Structures are given as structure tokens and as C-alpha cells.
């Protein structure tokens, strides 16, 4: 099988060094495809030039072409692309000429697709959670846990950790202040890792983020990020009230590192529910009307369960559940 994996205009390189969402997923698909024995063509100009040997590149983006002659010569069996593109007329005008399948993963919960973007057969949409499957039911989606990989993030052997870690973009939607509250209630230190997307949000919760038990790490990647995940006793997952998580990378990243997850949710059928089980973490569902303090206490209680799990067991499950090669095989299999 020959698969083309498309980049898109992004603030991040492909694959990204630190933060990134769809960019990390596309890289995981590329890695998984190679491990599964497929030939991979990296489409578009934004793929990194320091990926090592053996990567085949084609610099063009489909939406910038006027005909598909050059791409047809690649004889692609499958195109993997960010979720917007099957609903982009300029991209579809070229992809429809290629006689190959298209697969994408819904990474944003508020995007509206064209009615004919997917057919559930040759043009396939994948969603992480029951919540997302229901949200995009008109497009015949398939259930699948997304796998994400960053640049140079070689996973280390698991070891039982000590402090906590929170990982993601720092803003109201991700609500890391609730993780800080939970850590305080649990009597543990926490490292908050990721780029600040909302300075006003950080300022509103400035006293919390400045607490003695909190280390604001900033954005990191590569071996440093892998070590931070491996060294944590648990990853704390939070989201703001009303926010729909479409395909969080942190669940797979943490479990493959051997780090159990304590997750706070506000409803049922979420990504946390799909990704975790009693052997890999604990999920607590809070009332959306609950105070931050009550939600933080509920999450602290979940931490008690998560930190009791053995890192080596979590890693074994995580590497199986979030395996890049198996993920690619799922995307590449036509129903």
C-alpha cells in the first residue's frame, strides 16, 4: 500500500517539537504506516527536513494544484489529511481525481462538514468518543482512539513517579487551574506543561498558578517532554465546563509513558471515558454547577486511585491501546 499524508498551513512544523494537535496525529500515522509496511509519501512543503533517511516527499498541496497529473503518478492508495480538507472544494477537486481512499480524524468539535464529505466507505471520518460520534453521526463516522507522536519524543521504560503533571495548551477551555486545585487537595506538587494561549485566563487564576506546589514549565518537547511524562506519578486531565474534547493527545502520550491518568469530566461519553479504564486511571464526572473547589476535590479523590497503579502495567496497556501501526491499519481498512 502507498499512502500520502498531507500537511497544511500551520504555526507548527510537521511533526511539531512540542505542542501540536493534528500535526502530531499526522506524524503518528506516518510512523504507523511505515511500521505496518506501507510506503509513505509526505505531501506538502511544511514537513521537517531533518526526519532522517527513507522519507519520500512531494512538495505540493492538493488545494494549490489545478490538475492531478503529478499526483496520479504517485499511485496512492490512501490519502490521510486534516479534518477540514474533505469539505474544502479546492482540495476535493484534486482528491476526487486520484482513485484512492481518504481518511481523516475529527480533531475539532465545532467544524461543519459538507453533506457529501464522507461516504463511510472510500471517504472515512474517525471520531474518538461517543460524544463525538453522536455529534458527527450524519457523516457515518467510525470509532477510533487517535494516536499522536511528537518529534524526538522517544518513549522511556516506565517507572513509578512522584509528582503530578498537567499537559496541554493553557487557556479557559483546558482549565488547568482545576488540576492545580486538585493537586493542592491531594498534597502533591504539580508541573504545568504547555504554551500559554490565554494570558487573561492565567492572570485571573494567578494566585493559584503562583502557589508553592506548582511549577509552570512552559512548552517543552523531545526527550525533555518524554522524561517529564515518565517521571510523573499521574497525569491530571481537565477541561472547562461545556468544552468538548475531540481527540486529546495526552491520554495516549501518558499511558505509553506508563503514567496513569486522573481525569475530570462534566458529562458522559467523553474522550476520557473512551481512553481510560480502571487499569490505566480514574475518571470522575463533576456536576457542571459544582464550584471549582468541589470539582478540584472530586479530581483529588480520583488521583488517589490513579497513583496506586503500577507504571509498568499502565505502559503495557498504553502501548497496545495507542499503537501507531495498529492505528494506521484501522484507518487504511476499507469497511
Write out the chain's pLDDT in tens, 335 residues.
999 999 999 988 899 888 888 999 999 999 999 999 999 999 999 999 999 889 999 999 999 999 999 999 999 999 999 999 999 999 999 999 999 999 999 999 999 999 999 999 999 999 999 999 999 999 999 999 999 999 988 889 999 999 999 999 999 999 999 999 999 999 999 999 999 999 999 999 999 999 999 999 999 999 999 999 999 999 999 999 999 999 889 999 999 999 999 999 999 999 999 999 999 999 999 999 999 999 999 999 999 999 999 999 999 999 999 999 999 999 999 99
How do strand 101-105 and strand 78-80 relate by DSSP bridges? parallel
| Residue 17, pLDDT score | 85
pLDDT number for residue 154? 87
Backbone angles phi, psi at 45, to 5 degrees: -85, -5
Q: Which ranges in the chain are annotated with CATH 3.40.50.2000?
A: 2-150+323-332, 164-318
What is the number of residues in the chain?
335
Cα–Cα distance measured from residue 192 to residue 120, given in angstroms and rounded to the nearest whole number? 39
Grid coordinates belonging to 54:
527513507
Q: Which of 191, 286, 273 is nearest to 232 (CA)?
A: 191
3-class secondary structure, 329? helix
2-150+323-332 adopts what CATH topology? Rossmann fold (3.40.50)
CA distance 199 to 205: 10
pLDDT at site 253: 96
Q: Which fold has domain 164-318?
A: Rossmann fold (3.40.50)
The pLDDT of residue 303? 96
Q: Is 0.85 surpassed by the pTM of this model?
A: yes
Q: Are 221 and 153 in contact (CB under 8 A)?
A: yes
pLDDT for position 147: 97
**1's grid cell:** 500500500
Amino acid at each position: 500500500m502507498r499512502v500520502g499524508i498531507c500537511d497544511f498551513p500551520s504555526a507548527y512544523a510537521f511533526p511539531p517539537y512540542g505542542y501540536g494537535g493534528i500535526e502530531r496525529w499526522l506524524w503518528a500515522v506516518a510512523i504507523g504506516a511505515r511500521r505496518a509496511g506501507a510506503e509513505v509519501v509526505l505531501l506538502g512543503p511544511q514537513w521537517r527536513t531533518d526526519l532522517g533517511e527513507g522519507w519520500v516527499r512531494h512538495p505540493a498541496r492538493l488545494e494549490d494544484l489545478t490538475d492531478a497529473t503529478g499526483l496520479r503518478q504517485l499511485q496512492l492508495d490512501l490519502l490521510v489529511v486534516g479534518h477540514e480538507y474533505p469539505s474544502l472544494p479546492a482540495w476535493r477537486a484534486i482528491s476526487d481525481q486520484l482513485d484512492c481512499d481518504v481518511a481523516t480524524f475529527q480533531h475539532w468539535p465545532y467544524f461543519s462538514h459538507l453533506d457529501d464529505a464522507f461516504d463511510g466507505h472510500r471517504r472515512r471520518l474517525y471520531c474518538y468518543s461517543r460524544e463525538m460520534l453522536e455529534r458527527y453521526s450524519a457523516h457515518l463516522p467510525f470509532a477510533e482512539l487517535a494516536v499522536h507522536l511528537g518529534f524526538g519524543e522517544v518513549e522511556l521504560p516506565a517507572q513509578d513517579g512522584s509528582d503530578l503533571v498537567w499537559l496541554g495548551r493553557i487557556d479557559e477551555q483546558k482549565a488547568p487551574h482545576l488540576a492545580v486545585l486538585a493537586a493542592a487537595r491531594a498534597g502533591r506538587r504539580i508541573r504545568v506543561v504547555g504554551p500559554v494561549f490565554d494570558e487573561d485566563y492565567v492572570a485571573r487564576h494567578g494566585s493559584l498558578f503562583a502557589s508553592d506546589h506548582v511549577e509552570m514549565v512552559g512548552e517543552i518537547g523531545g526527550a525533555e517532554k518524554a522524561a517529564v511524562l515518565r517521571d510523573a506519578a499521574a497525569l491530571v486531565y481537565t477541561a472547562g465546563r461545556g468544552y468538548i474534547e475531540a481527540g486529546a493527545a495526552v491520554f495516549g502520550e501518558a499511558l505509553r509513558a506508563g503514567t496513569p491518568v486522573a481525569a475530570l469530566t462534566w458529562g458522559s461519553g467523553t474522550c476520557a471515558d473512551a481512553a481510560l479504564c480502571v487499569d490505566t486511571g480514574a475518571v470522575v464526572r463533576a456536576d457542571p454547577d459544582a464550584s471549582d473547589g468541589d470539582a478540584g476535590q472530586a479530581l483529588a479523590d480520583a488521583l488517589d486511585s490513579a497513583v496506586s497503579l503500577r507504571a509498568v502495567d499502565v505502559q503495557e496497556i498504553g502501548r497496545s491501546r495507542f499503537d501507531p501501526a495498529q492505528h494506521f491499519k484501522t484507518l487504511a481498512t476499507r469497511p
